[in-house]
Amino acid sequence: MAISFVHIFFLLLLLLSPLHLSLAKKCIFTEKYEVHIINKLPPNSPQLKVHCASKDNDFGMHYPITNEDFNWSFCGLLFSETTLYFCHFWWNSKDKAFDVFNDKDYCVHNQTFPNHLKYCKWEVRSDGFYLEQYNSDTKQYFMSHYMGWS
């Protein structure tokens, strides 16, 4: 990424003033990532419960209703590859816990297609967890089954 005057401006603000808290989401020199967890379970089925966290952030328990998008964003770290978010899901007396972000190019390790959008979209369905992928050959987005509930 080229260093522009805008970046230098923000860097100066960061160094010279206490404004850095409000600038935190600007992602100076690094990429901004988004993670979306979308409840695609059948309506009138048991309530989905989601608990997501990283080493530094704990989002607490969330109860997204059907079609609700629970999401957050964060800045990639400049000198580290170690950003990691994980979630624990409970539904219909089943539960599952896994990393929803541990790879800045693929969202999670070992996917077939890299994610150029920096946008990790997960869907929770009755047959398990799907991650959106972009097939660069066919130029189409599709939901890829990542794992089941059991």
Residue 105 touching ligand NAG (CB under 6 A): no
* d(C-alpha 101, C-alpha 34), whole Å: 10
Closer to ligand NAG at the Cβ: 66 or 71?
A: 71
* d(C-alpha 131, C-alpha 124), whole Å: 9
Strands of the sheet with 128-135, listed across from one edge: 69-75, 32-39, 119-125, 128-135, 140-147
Closer to ligand NAG at the Cβ: 4 or 110?
A: 110
Per-residue contact flags (x/-) with ligand NAG for residues 114 to 143, judged by CB under 6 A: ------------------------------
Residue 66 touching ligand NAG (CB under 6 A): no
Site size toward ligand NAG (CB under 6 A) is 4
Provide the minimum distance between the beta carbon of 99 and ligand NAG in the complex, in angstroms, as a whole number: 11
Residue 109 touching ligand NAG (CB under 6 A): yes
Half-sphere exposure of residue 34: CA atoms within 13 angstroms, side-chain side: 11
When binding is defined by CB under 6 A, the residue of 44, 93, 110, 150 that contacts ligand NAG is: 110
Amino acid present at 22: S
Amino acid present at 61: M
**Contacts by 98-105 with C-beta closer than 8 Å and gap 24+?**
98/129, 98/147, 100/35, 100/37, 100/52, 101/33, 101/35, 104/31, 104/33, 104/76
When binding is defined by CB under 6 A, the residue of 58, 69, 95, 105 that contacts ligand NAG is: 69
Contacts with ligand NAG, residue ranges (CB under 6 A): 69, 71, 109-110
